[in-house]
Structure 1
Amino acid sequence: MEMKLCVFETLRLGVLCLLTCLGVAYATLSPSGVNYEVVALMAIKGDLKDPRNIMDNWDLSSVDPCSWRMVTCNLDRSVSALGLPSQNLSGTLSSAIGNLSNLQSITLQNNAIFGPIPDSIGKLQKLQTLDLSGNIFNGQLPSSLGDLNSLNFLRLNNNSLSGPVPQSLSQVEGLTLVDVSYNNLTGPLPKLSARTFRIIGNPLLCGQNSVNNCSNIYPEPLSFPPDGFTDQSSSNDKTRHLAVALGTSLSGIFVIILIVALLIWWRYRKNQQIFFDVNDQYDPEVCLGHLRRYTFKELRAATDHFNAKNILGRGGYGIVYKGTLNDGTIVAVKRLKDSNTFGGEIQFQTEVETISLAVHRNLLRLWGFCSTENERLLVYPFMPNGSVASRLKDNMEGRPVLDWTRRKNIALGTARGLLYLHEQCDPKIIHRDVKAANILLDEDFEAVVGDFGLAKLLDHRDSHVTTAIRGTVGHIAPEYLSTGQSSSKTDVFGFGILLLELITGQKALDFGRAANQKGVMLDWVKKLHQEGKLNLMVDKALNNDFDRVELQEMIQVALLCTQFNPSYRPKMSEVLRMLEGEGLVERWEASQKVETPRFRGLEGIPQRYSDYIEESSLVVEAMELSGPR
């Protein structure tokens, strides 16, 4: 009898275990078999007005939303990011957003969404980035924001929010940035762990006597106490009264400004050192936002002591290795060389800070980093299909040639990634080295823009940045070669050269050696285009299997992007529309009516790209940048 009871109990436990497993497997499905994430996304769509029909492929009958526009999924096919910035959306944000339990990023900035922020947003325990800035949200900030334990970046600026900043936010320890500026918020302010806390533009928080204080940005990874804020305000008031009482003394004011500037600089440098001076004694599980902090020993073991057989590519700043972590995850590890030099530290700092802020399906996502006294390493997801440049080379490993359809999709994906950097990311980012070697291909041959080592962050007030020339000869825009001045139009020029690389299958500078051609590829393509010999420039590996109409359109887009005068080049949003078949005819006809640009205003200026390279008086640092190949 006892034997029967034992067998029965074992069977009962087995059935319960099986039912539990089935429950987990179908946890995202409703009784009718519809994915809960699909239902939530459709509810969000239903409450929003979408004049651009950007969500027109969202379908309730779908079982997998991962192919929908503006929706990003993780490796488990769960929705991890919802990005609809600058899409002219209006309406309200549905509370169903709280059912997307795997969301890590919500970016809905620069729309016209109104109504309260749903309290259900506090259920998103994995959420790291929440950007609702530039909308018309009103009402009070939900106290449930304090339940977002993984939250790193919170942007709610430029809305119509009222009431206090929730005290519950002080419980979120991983905050890096909180921006609630330009609302109608009231006090008191909570003590936050954020390195940056922006509150300017809230009349009830920042009166006339404290407006300068409110414009301050607090960069230290410390708490922001309201009483300290008040003390600083009264201190500055006393300083101003004393200045009035003693009269205007230019020398005294200069000394005060100099001391304050030195103090801010010292605190900034101190924070930078605290942030980046990481050694093996740090806990590897401590995260900076969504970035994981790896130990050097962990990455050394993953790459088999940086074995040469695991090298994926070499660049001007380091070597990229293939690695396997303890949990079996395959990664690409970039080991920066000369990490103690100024250039290596700048490269490391720029990549960590910049890439962590830029999240898009067509941008390479930085997973983590390692920093010791002598080492700087970056960890990326492994791209199984390498770079576009490697796939355009001779078929050394028996891999199939990139067909025309994939090349066209690579152009579209790259354009979307650059569009995000230029027009949708805040702050704006200039890549400065767009080329086939820096465009990676994932398992589905989706284009992923990598190598942000030379990216420049732009303030909204800046239209260009003057700096030393860095990049790869053959891809550098003429105005950058001539003046060292870069802008988003510099990237547009590089994208035009990338299109020509996709069409010809050749490098921009080493082109035509096998065919005994002389000069850079751009000059050769222009000559063939003028002669109407488009077929001669197409990659022979395609075996004439390409769309003639699309070829002509892509060449026209490339030539529009590579015009010598940067003001004549289209923006990336216009480039993407032309690649999708909208507005190209009108833009091309207009370009043919414009006289050959002489934007330098001198007689006898170079009219060929090769002449700009030869006559450039600036030193060009030709280099391969960061990221897996």
Structure 2
Amino acid sequence: MWDDSLIKWLIFMFMISGDALYQLKLSLGAPANQLIDWNPSHVDPCTWSNVICDNNDQVTSVTLSGMNCSGTLSSKIGILNTLTTLTLKGNGITGEIPKEFGNLSSLSSLDLGNNRLSGEIPSSLGDLKRLQFLTLSQNNLTGAIPESLSRLQNLINILLDSNHLSGHIPEHLFQIPKYNFTGNRLNCGANFPQPCESDNSDSGASNKPKIGIIVGIVGGTIILLLFVGLLFFVCKGRHKGYKHDMFEDVAGEVDQRIAFGQLKRFAYRELQLATDNFNEKNILGQGGFGKVYKGVLQDNTKVAVKRLTDFESPGGDAAFQREVEMISVAVHRNLLRLIGFCTTPSERLLVYPFMPNLSVAYRLRERKPEEPVLDWARRKRVALGAARGLEYLHEHCNPKIIHRDVKAANVLLDEDFEAVVGDFGLAKLVDVRKTNVTTQVRGTMGHIAPEYLSTGKSSERTDVFGYGIMLLELVTGQRAIDFSRLEEEDDVLLLDHVKKLEREKRLDDIVDCNLNEHYNIQEVEMMIQVALLCTQASPEDRPAMSEVVRMLEGEGLAERWEEWQHVEDTRRQEYERLQRRFEWGDDSSYNQLAIELSGGR
């Protein structure tokens, strides 16, 4: 029971802040080359670029200046009540400032200057008791300055210049050491008792002569550079007879066809042509490691090209190549075969066969109405095929390969609907460029084993946990985490949802309604039992994938399940006994409950 609570706590600890930041990225419309590592599959937001956390892994600072964002502000950011600094200046952000910004109770600095924000300044900003620096300059804000800002006793700098504000300025704001209200229609300036700008302000009109000089110098330099560049390209064009090609090899690319057995090194332009220059319409999916594009090679072979997004700097070709070779050796009918790869100073691409039936997740939840439901017989084959693929990675590869993101979206289906495990080894591929020991926790919330989430250490048993959740996806057709279940006062986590129904012997309520009762309830029960054995909180208690294969084939499940139920019943009864004593007011049981819940000593 306590183990379940631990899993929930670990998941929600990162989920809340990570989801808020990811929603901010989406709403801002960050360019494709920005905030690449802001991805829900990179679980810990403290490892994301431009994010700073404290020693308790609480997000304290987010700085996204000058990133050419052109979207809006997300109200979800108001969840981050540990945030002390939020800087989004110098973008093209539109829309209003959400009133939820007033929930950022720890905020000391807010800079939204030089954007295109509109609407009124929300009065909720007056709730930011710790705010010291407020910059909303050079926007399109309208209306009056809220009286609530007078309550900000710690404010030492407020810049609201160059907007369309009008009306009365709260008297208290003139007592702030540094303020600037110029460029508005406010009651300050020559015709009013108070100036629109504090004496020690170094911004606004006093800087205009300096700005003019700087602009003149920069403008002249740019014109000169453009002229020199134009002259260079004209000469180059004459020399080459004006021959241009839309798809060119990337500078620094090793343009030779090196083969490692069946593995081929592709030229970058080959993959550009195959995917129509990585056209968005050819995207098959997107995950923690990058986007996958459908492509057609010159010999009409259909392929899937995965464009890895986690490479920040040139180099590391040799290490990447070694890891690619290692993965290419892992050949099994239930593993996605690697056809080839491509490296440039800034790109890493992997080429796989195209899987015509896409992924298990697609067939369970995203299929088109005219496409057939994944029937129970095929779901059983998927379960066994994926188990055999993982067994091969764990027990027959040397060194063993740990997947680290086992889920329905990463189990693909070939033309015969056979399960093919994809994306194995990619976590290692991406991390091979790192020289330090620590790596990001990689995976998808709801599929990540608790020990991996809390320590960052993965093993084959973390894959077993993810596989168990994937089995529950197969049975239920549902996502590992679904907030819509809250509306029915049910568990957000699929694992908890299934455990509850299994204890109540409501197996039919667990099964995917799309199967229309076309399933074998005994086989459903068996698959649920295997899934619950795989998702035990302690990694030592989980079966190895070879055991999972045997249990799915009908060998040894009954004995293992009976043993697990006995342990679970004993643990549940002891927890309930201690909980009752605590609720009855037996003070001596308080420390005992804490000791019991903290685990073995």
TM-score w.r.t. the length of structure 2 is 0.50
Larger Rg: 2
So what's the TM-score if we normalise by structure 1? 0.48
